[in-house]
Amino acid sequence: MHRFLAPNLRWLRWTAGALLLALFPVFVREPYYITLAVNLTTTLILTLSLNFVVGASGQWSFAHAAFFGMGAYVPGVFASRFGVDGWLGLPLGVASTMLLATVIGLPIVRLSGYYLAVCTLALGFLAEIIVRQAVDLTGGSYGIQQIPPLLIADYPLKGGSYYVVALAAMLASSLLLDNIKDSTLGHAILAARDNAVAAASCGVNVGRVKLTAFVIAAGLAALAGWVHTFYYLALNPSLLASDWTFLWYFMVFIGGLGSVPGVVIGTILLSIAPELLGIATQNQVLAFGLLMLVVALFAPRGVGGIIADLLRTDRVVPANRSAT
Amino acid sequence: MSEPLLQLEQLTKRFGGLLAVDCLSFVVDHGEICAVIGPNGAGKTTLFNIIAGEQKPNAGTVRLEGDDITGLPDYGVARRGIGRAFQLVHLFESMSVANNVLLGAEDHRQLRIISAATHLGGHRRRMQMARARAEEALSLVGIKHLAHRAIGSLSLGQQRLVGAARALASRPRLLLLDEPAAGLSHGELDVLRAAILGVRSAQTSVLIVEHNVEFVLSFCDRVVVMNFGRKIAEGRPDEIRHSEAVIEAYLGRKY
């Protein structure tokens, strides 16, 4: 009985959650909170995809901000310079970022641990430099202003109506990652992380599976970039700064690497708390650093680990959630 | 069925000046349990690594039902129907027993990214099929009751059986067992022997590399004895027990 009900409940939960979240701008009309909500959805796409590539696939990628920036710049540049519609910019930005991730991923997914981290970090710095130098295309350090907004039947999407687009992108990303988790590909990704030799003995092409995880995460980061661009309608090369990647890592670690609910909580906590508490930007790093220290000392598996310990009913380590 | 299941021809593997495997040839037939024994450093593990595609031989060929599979990558050999259980178990530590075995049952030939992301395009049917196969493999080695346990909570013997079940879940034509008895208690050896005999069928042959000579001689159909990379004897267990060459090279005077 449980088995038959489960899939319906899953869709019910997703639909109910989506409707509930979509109602947010109906009740909250203040632009400040709308901006906060759009930023939060963007950041959630980034942290969930980072959690996927680092947590599930075990690849320490520090190029996330670069992929985010590419996903932001490609549609932005096409829209402002060549008049390409913002909706068309979405597949354009995501596809070109995934293509780039494939090309750079082919050699670097063979690396692991520190080597992968250093290599992707260098690529992240390189990406920012390139964007700052390619002045003709990207506007250099000055950036790009007045990008034409997304339109639905000549009606420009902004504020509350744009939030719905951002929300849809976030929910689609989460659903995609949740589906992958319970698929042969998802199992292979975990297997390749846990034990490459054993994964190969099961017929898993470890290199290809790791590259796939890397490219999917890059594509999602690019989607977040697109959401960002058409909310702010302006671009600035500091978007590609590796500081962002570090911030997303903070969120993932404080939430608990590998735990989706934990990462969601970590992201909400670190995105919204400083705003609501009125902590100035320069003090944020200090606050996050202290928080990180506390988490590392007292809850090394983050918020997600605390939740898992609280929910645990028996001493048997829970298996991955069954697909049905 | 005219071709032997596995045919090794003149396999040679050199590590610098050392001949780990030296011009080795033998066959494994359909439905057979074949054991490779030999003293430490005889080249047994290297031989296994070559068959499994982890190392490439300097010369010679590996044929599976007549097809040349020499030099295929390890995952390619697995896809051809050679399952492998490791001495150092190599299980997926973060997963339950059931999911470890499920990994072996799933078809990894294609990535099916779209289907994975949307759960459309036959996703449910494929998962049901894989789950059924995994369950079958768990029953076959008699560890269905362990399905929901975490790997870390199992004994070494139980972990070996999980490794065997994972290898069997892909319904391999040939099962490679690397030192399955190492570190097991007497009780666990009996369970292991029963599991191996239960696995053998017209569809599945077993090739075992083992240190515990008495253990394998008690149930295997045929034995290949290696020393210094060469095959020094081959035959039924009772023949091997009485072979002069084997006694001298390996078993010692007390036999």
Q: Distance between CA B27 and CA B232 in Å, rounded?
A: 15
Query: A179-222 pLDDT, tens per residue?
Result: 999 999 999 999 999 999 999 999 999 999 999 999 999 999 99
**A319 to B74: CB separation less than 8 angstroms, yes or no:** no
B91 in a structural domain: yes
Taking 60 as the threshold, does the pLDDT of residue A285 lie above it? yes
Residue B4, domain member (yes or no): no
Residues of B in contact with A319 (CB under 8 A): 95-96, 98-99, 148, 150
Structural domain of B195: 30-55+71-251
| Burial of B185 (C-beta count, 10 Å sphere; 0-12/13-18/19+) | exposed
Q: Which of A201, A314, A315, A320 to mutate: most B Cβ within 10 Å? A: A201
Determine the Cα–Cα distance for residues A164 and A162; give it in Å rounded to an integer: 5
**Between chains, do A195 and B92 touch, taking CB under 8 Å as contact?**
yes
In angstroms, rounded to a whole number, what is the distance separating the alpha carbons of residues A239 and A227?
A: 13
Band of the pLDDT at B252, cuts 50, 70, 90? Answer: low
Cβ pairs bridging A and B (under 8 Å):
125
Query: What is d(CA B12, CA B169) in angstroms, rounded to the nearest whole number?
Result: 31
pLDDT of residue B253: 57
pLDDT at A230 over 90: yes
Residue B115 lies in a domain: yes
Q: Are the C-beta atoms of residues A53 and A213 closer than 8 Å to each other?
A: yes
Q: Supply the ipTM of this predicted assembly.
A: 0.91
Is B62 a domain residue?
Answer: no
Q: How far apart are CA B139 and CA B158, in angstroms?
A: 13
Q: Does residue B20 form part of some domain?
A: no
On whether residue B212 sits in a domain, the answer given is yes
The CA-atom distances, in angstroms, between A215 and each of A4, A130, A181 are 34, 21, 16
Residue A27 pLDDT more than 90?
Answer: no
B228-241 mean pLDDT: 90
Rounded Cα distance, A31 and B6, in Å: 71
In a domain, B13, yes or no: no
Number of domains in chain B: 1
Q: How far apart are CA A70 and CA B49, in angstroms?
A: 43
Cβ–Cβ < 8 Å for A263, A304: yes
- Which DSSP symbol is given to A147? P
Q: Which residue of A has its CA nearest to B122?
A: A183
pLDDT tier at B94 (50, 70, 90 boundaries)?
very high
Q: Nearest to residue B164, comparing CAs of B210, B131, B196, B124?
A: B196
- Considering only the beta carbons, identify the residue of A194, A212, A316 that sits closest to B113: A212
Residue B153, domain CATH: 3.40.50.300
Question: What count of other Cβ atoms lies within 10 Å of the Cβ of residue A159?
Answer: 15
Would you say A131 and A237 are in contact if contact means Cβ atoms under 8 Å apart? Answer: yes
> What band does B219 get if pLDDT is binned at 50, 70 and 90?
very high
**What is the spatial order of strands in the sheet that B6-15 belongs to?**
B18-28, B6-15, B59-64, B67-68
